[in-house]
Chains A and B, each alone.
Chain A
Amino acid sequence: MIFAKPSSEKEAISLLNETSGMTRILSGGTDVLVQMKSGAIEPELIVDIKNIPGIKHIKAVSGGYEIGAAVSGSEFNNYPGLKDFTPGIAEAFDLIGSSQIQGRCTLAGNLCNASPAADTIPALSVSSCFAKIVGPNGFREDLVKNIPTAPGKNSLKKGEFIKSIIIPNRPDYSSDSYIRFTPRSEMDIAVVSAACFITLDKNQLIKDLKISLGAVASTVVHVDGLCDLVMDSKITDELLSKIAMICSSSCKPIDDKRGTIEFRSHVAGVLAKRAMILAHKRAGDKIEKIAR
């Protein structure tokens, strides 16, 4: 096994491209090291990307933010203004692991590890986030929701890696939220999770709604057709029940040690409803705040 810590993108790309066996990117290492220790993977090459310039930066860009691939959970959550801008991504990121893990774990890592139960993937997806990817064929961008393809698998090609993640600008009266269900209060893995992004107009009428569900299929479920259903309506119990039902029936979960099909489907609806109430409240608060 070779360990490399290149100081440029170019060098990293060529190392990754030229190694024939399994390669892994290391930033926080919170998945890679655990997988190596358990014997699940034996990479030929490990590329630590933390010496690449800019990879640990958080930048405000065109009304949104660019988050470097090696920015840790605690750096993200302590960055002024980020939590207010996207409370949903912030709470999803913050739920990963212990304080020690928070000092290491990254959004790009969570995304590339492609666990169906990953906390940040639903949250990034509903906010239409995208990844900036570099590789032997140059630079490209892709939506976060296109990156995981199956448990542990992603759509990155040979020699490619994620440089940063863009959280795009959002309309005035919008907000987001993320809720997961775990038997324990922390140090646990989502049995079901739901992220919601909502946009309102000044009169509290819904203009946009996105819900993504985690741990209920082999990849995150992005619930279709919600926008048409809710366009220009107000939030009501009836609407919430309908959304819960749609979300429950969008799931394709499995029975396993963490939960049954019935449990996951039912709770997905419950969490979708609760996430929507939370995001709606946050967006509504902005109407009041801006009016003042």
Chain B
Amino acid sequence: MDQITPKPIKNFKVIGTRPLRPDGIEKVTGKAIYGADLSAPNMLYGLLLRINEPHALIENIDISFAEKLPGVKSIVTFKDFIKINPNNKYNETLENCIANEKILYDGHAVAAVAAINLKVAKKAIKLIDVKFKKLPFVINIEDAMKKDAPIVAQGKKNENIPDGFSENVVQYCSFGHGNLEEGFSESEKIIKRTFKTPSVHQGYIEPHACLASMSNEGKADLWCCTQGHYNVRSICSNIFKIDNSQLKVTASEIGGGFGGKTTVFIEPIALALSLKSGCPVKIVMSREEVFKATGPTVSSLVDVKIGMKKTGKITAAEAIIRYEGGAFPNETYELGAQSAFAAYDLKSVKTEAYNVLTNRPAQAAYRAPGAPQAIYAVESIIDELCQYFNQDPLYVRILNAAHKGTKSSYGPTFDDIGLKATLEAAKNHPHYNTPLKENQGRGVSCGFWFNFGGNTCVSLNINFDGTVGVVEGNPDIGGSRSSISQMAAEELGISLDKVKTIIADTNSLGHNDVTDGSRVTFSVGLATIKAAKAAKNELCKRAAKLWGIDEDAVIWKDGYAYPAGANAGNQEPLSLEDIAKVSSQTGGPIAGHYEVNAENAGVSFGVHLVDVETDNETGHTKILRYTAFQDAGKAIHPSYVEGQMQGGSVQGIGWALNEEYIYNNEGKLQNPGFLDYRIPVASDLPMIDPVILEIPNPGHPYGVRGVGETSIVPPLAAINNAVSRATKIRFSELPLSPPKVLNAILSKQK
């Protein structure tokens, strides 16, 4: 695997190496504790009653028979939550967990039971009598936007919505600059198309699970699998009207999240069942529940219009984006509008975006939320224009690429970014120049993600034996414990095996934002380095004390305190361990802390190349070769960076080829399981070849950029472009499933 390093910034010792993952053995031997693995004395089992109707008015929920069943300890409905806190600010989040007045999607829960075992709970669920009136429903964007569409929810519409739409169109935004009309008139070819992508699920292997214990005195403990236990605390303490300090949330090991575990689905229910029964309550979702009632990503309907000169220069670009993310408002449409043209330096550009309510479960974040759908449309049109002018698709992208100083389509002006270098690496890679055979096609696409920083706290404790414990507050979904330990070891100048990083509960550190936005290696890494610097200052002070010299006459270098300056003397340098061992006599234990709301995360770009072969008789597409190029700023643990690039690519490939939420004409989900919701299996894919570039991010001491999300963005268009070139038919709707592709091939033959 190639490693291209344009300008190394530092000679690292630990950074850039590939140590074994610290959590690996526990995970592969089944010892790691996941969400469903926890138990408590007198624990009850919680189960939700879900209604398989897309839209209905709840008339009555009779729990009296179920309550009388021996072994049933508590039953809750939305009414119980109203009693606790009628004005909680997470009402929409709660209403997605358990229906209030209306059932809003197929699989929406209306009640929950806690019982002594699952068998009793299952029986009790069947004894709850729900009376409801079916309502007209709406599943797809086009239908939901029409003036006479069934209304999913009243009163959600923002003031800035243009006329002519139904009340389901609730949010709108626009970005851009320049004169579009002028730009298009300068072009020599304009292509405009409408693109569609389906709703897809993150497909994490571990279903949501939690164990809750809450008392009447407003004290609660919650263990759950989540990407952000501080966020779980914020939501739940508000719903239950208790102080943050009284709800302790502990994150379990996590079997994947990809954005889908950044909110709550069962945690408030388990707390309510526990509060009402007085016993701890565990809830574990089934896979069917995960598909039906957690948060898939938005589906999309996007118009893109781009004008180009025959030289390949883009003169103007415009996108109208429509996202549907279920029955509740969300912000993903805005991220789509901002990311659509981020890869290009454009004089005239405009994006508009709408969010539309439908009778589907509320969307949740999914790896670079909102970017893949918009960029899919843009990168497909650019490829079509390249074909029209017979221009090299990478040359055209290099010609138009955003660079340092580019005013981005969404406003900010870019600092150092690695896009051009990434495109050039792709152009010079042997993959790009390998000949293709009949029925084969090569696709290219750029990808982009903003990356976030955010609220972060780290404590770094120096133990008496000279080892170091790093305490952070972000669940490790992509190997962050390893990279955090590496950064601590690097900064302190000690070996990696002396450092262990753990994830603390919500009472052990200040607030940490969710593990999302590819923020952890960047932000927690930054805080860890600063905490290590603070600890080094203290270590120098202690050395000064031991030597009886001035504090500022001691410097820290490669793990040792050295006397420095003219009058410091010639003392033997002291190691971290030497100082730690006697720290009890020099002022007590030594630690470093850092708390920050991190900024300057640095945007991330990637470029993917894919070769496919399409079977003209069945419409089946085989991925022959796949290479992903991405700027990591600095790869702390290159294997993890490669893993992120490969993982995102595979999820994007699944999205492009087979994955989709399929609803029937009764508004019911047809494929809530891994048999008919087809994520790729290993044998479907060639080795995804990752090429890491390192263009340092000026906002991080070691140059780190987040790498977790960008890689899911390019596969959609890259594969669409490859299949379009292989079949000589332009596709504009995902997934490129065999029936769809075959239908297009046969229609063309007629």
Interface residues of A (CB under 8 A from B): 181, 183-189, 191, 256-260, 262-263, 266-267, 270
Contact B620 A181 (CB under 8 A): yes
Given A184-B658, A257-B671, A257-B676; A267-B618 close (CB under 8 Å): yes
Query: In chain B, what residue has the closest Cβ to A259?
Result: B739
Q: How far is the CA of A190 from the CA of B683 in the complex (A)?
A: 17
User: Among A184, A186, A187, A260, which residue has its beta carbon within 8 angstroms of that of B739?
Assistant: A260
Contact A181 B742 (CB under 8 A): no
Is residue B566 contacting chain A, with contact meaning CB distance below 8 A? no
Q: By the criterion of a CB under 8 Å from any partner CB, how many residues of chain B are at the interface?
A: 22
Q: How far is the CA of A201 from the CA of B156 in the complex (A)?
A: 76
Q: How far is the CB of A118 from chain B (nearest CB, A)?
A: 14
A-B contact list, 11 entries, CB within 8 Å: A181-B620, A181-B738, A183-B658, A184-B658, A184-B681, A257-B676, A259-B738, A259-B739, A260-B743, A262-B739, A270-B617
Contacts of B683 in A (CB 8 A): 185-186
Is residue B1 contacting chain A, with contact meaning CB distance below 8 A? no
Contacts of B743 in A (CB 8 A): 260, 262-263
Contacts of A187 in B (CB 8 A): 681
Contacts of B662 in A (CB 8 A): 257
Contacts of B684 in A (CB 8 A): 184-185
Contacts of A186 in B (CB 8 A): 681, 683
Contact A185 B738 (CB under 8 A): no
Known A-B contacts: A188-B675, A260-B743, A263-B742. Give 16 more (CB < 8 A): A183-B657, A183-B678, A183-B737, A183-B738, A184-B680, A184-B681, A189-B675, A256-B670, A258-B676, A260-B739, A262-B743, A263-B619, A263-B739, A266-B746, A267-B618, A270-B617
Contacts of A189 in B (CB 8 A): 675-676
Contact B675 A181 (CB under 8 A): no
Contact A184 B678 (CB under 8 A): yes
Interface centre among B618, B678, B746 (most CB of A within 10 A): B618
Q: How far is the CB of A243 from chain B (nearest CB, A)?
A: 14
Interface residues of B (CB under 8 A from A): 617-620, 657-658, 662, 670-671, 675-676, 678, 680-681, 683-684, 737-739, 742-743, 746
Given A184-B658, A266-B742; A257-B681 close (CB under 8 Å): no
Q: How far is the CA of A184 from the CA of B620 in the complex (A)?
A: 9
Q: How far is the CB of A256 from chain B (nearest CB, A)?
A: 8
Given A183-B658, A184-B658; A267-B742 close (CB under 8 Å): yes
Q: How far is the CA of A186 from the CA of B675 in the complex (A)?
A: 11
Query: In chain B, what residue has the closest Cβ to A189?
Result: B675
Q: How far is the CB of A215 from chain B (nearest CB, A)?
A: 13
Q: How far is the CA of A199 from the CA of B364 in the complex (A)?
A: 57
Query: In chain A, what residue has the closest Cβ to B741?
Result: A263
Contact B620 A183 (CB under 8 A): yes
Closest 10 CB pairs of A and B: A263-B739, A185-B683, A270-B617, A257-B670, A257-B662, A183-B658, A185-B684, A187-B681, A260-B739, A259-B739
Q: How far is the CB of A40 from chain B (nearest CB, A)?
A: 12
Contacts of A257 in B (CB 8 A): 662, 670-671, 676
Q: How far is the CB of B616 from chain A (nearest CB, A)?
A: 10
Contact A263 B738 (CB under 8 A): yes
Query: In chain A, what residue has the closest Cβ to B677?
Result: A257
Contacts of A266 in B (CB 8 A): 742, 746
Given A187-B681, A257-B662, A262-B743; A181-B618 close (CB under 8 Å): yes
Q: How far is the CA of A270 from the CA of B617 in the complex (A)?
A: 7
Q: How far is the CA of A116 from the CA of B743 in the complex (A)?
A: 24
Contacts of B619 in A (CB 8 A): 263
Q: How far is the CA of A267 from the CA of B739 in the complex (A)?
A: 10
Q: How far is the CB of A140 from chain B (nearest CB, A)?
A: 35
Interface centre among A191, A257, A262 (most CB of B within 10 A): A257
Q: How far is the CB of A151 from chain B (nearest CB, A)?
A: 16
Contacts of B676 in A (CB 8 A): 189, 257-258
Q: How far is the CA of A70 from the CA of B683 in the complex (A)?
A: 29
Contacts of A259 in B (CB 8 A): 738-739
Contact A270 B678 (CB under 8 A): no
Contacts of B617 in A (CB 8 A): 267, 270
Contacts of B746 in A (CB 8 A): 262, 266
Q: How far is the CA of A183 from the CA of B620 in the complex (A)?
A: 7
Contacts of A256 in B (CB 8 A): 670
Query: In chain B, what residue has the closest Cβ to A37?
Result: B286
Contacts of B742 in A (CB 8 A): 263, 266-267
Q: How far is the CB of A145 from chain B (nearest CB, A)?
A: 26
Contacts of B738 in A (CB 8 A): 181, 183, 191, 259, 263, 267
Q: How far is the CB of A147 from chain B (nearest CB, A)?
A: 24
Contacts of B670 in A (CB 8 A): 256-257
Query: In chain B, what residue has the closest Cβ to A38?
Result: B288
